[in-house]
Chains A and B, each alone.
Chain A
Amino acid sequence: DQQVKQNSPSLSVQEGRISILNCDYTNSMFDYFLWYKKYPAEGPTFLISISSIKDKNEDGRFTVFLNKSAKHLSLHIVPSQPGDSAVYFCAAPRGMEYGNKLVFGAGTILRVKS
């Protein structure tokens, strides 16, 4: 039961352009979402999060948009840089009764070409 879905396994973008990574979820009880970034041979690192009381959160070049009615969120990276090339995971805590354990999507490999 994959409650968080990232349907695009990979994305290739030219340096300087916008990267848009998408994530869909099925559990309407999710009220907080996180994006993680992972380089090869390293652990995932926290990138940005959003609470369901907001529809947008911005941190420098990274913006996350949340559309609750569509159960969809997206991560925008503007402008994209070669160092952004990594795997990006969308995640959500399952809820207090599950100890807020994170459930992750399958990930999207982003390649930024210079």
Chain B
Amino acid sequence: DVKVTQSSRYLVKRTGEKVFLECVQDMDHENMFWYRQDPGLGLRLIYFSYDVKMKEKGDIPEGYSVSREKKERFSLILESASTNQTSMYLCASTPADRGRAGYTFGSGTRLTVV
């Protein structure tokens, strides 16, 4: 089974803190994604990476950055956390040649910024 593992299930951080969300996949997938899920808005793409050290902005990249130093690991960074970044964060991966067939998601990190 493909596994996408997100390091934290729940996080509580203070406004202004720098926050790191980690994601690791074990199937040698090229593509990795960060989405956030909010009620009434569905899943919105924050950032996307199709290779080590490569990244692309998604639909809502403001206030976020990413890092992909190794193929299996894709980190989402909140440079200065704000309350409007309270959300469920979902990491996903897919092989380069099967993007249309769907993604494998991690279990999510529920982040609360106070």
- Chain A residues within 8 Å of B, Cβ to Cβ: 4, 6, 9, 32, 34, 36, 41-46, 49, 89, 91, 93, 99-107
State the majority secondary structure of interface residues on B: strand
What residue of chain B has the Cβ atom nearest to residue A107's Cβ? B42
Q: Contacting B108 at CB < 8 Å: which of A32, A41, A89?
A: A41
Q: Contacting A101 at CB < 8 Å: which of B33, B40, B104?
A: B33
State whether A106 touches B102 (Cβ < 8 A).
no
State whether A101 touches B105 (Cβ < 8 A).
no
State whether A41 touches B107 (Cβ < 8 A).
yes
State whether B9 touches A41 (Cβ < 8 A).
yes
Cβ-based interface call for B50 (8 A): yes
Nearest chain B CB to A41 CB, angstrom units: 7
What residue of chain A has the Cβ atom nearest to residue B58's Cβ? A101
What residue of chain B has the Cβ atom nearest to residue A31's Cβ? B100
- A101 to B35: give the CA distance in the assembly, Å: 11
For A41, the chain B residues whose CB sits under 8 A away are: 9, 107-108, 110
State whether B107 touches A43 (Cβ < 8 A).
yes
For B56, the chain A residues whose CB sits under 8 A away are: 99
Contacts A101-B45, A101-B58, A106-B40; A44 near B99 (Cβ below 8 A): no
State whether A43 touches B31 (Cβ < 8 A).
no
- A27 to B9: give the CA distance in the assembly, Å: 35
Q: Contacting B100 at CB < 8 Å: which of A6, A100, A107?
A: A100
For B4, the chain A residues whose CB sits under 8 A away are: 43
State whether B43 touches A104 (Cβ < 8 A).
yes
Could you say which of B31, B40, B102, B108 has the most chain A C-beta atoms within 10 Å of its C-beta? B102
Cβ-based interface call for B90 (8 A): yes
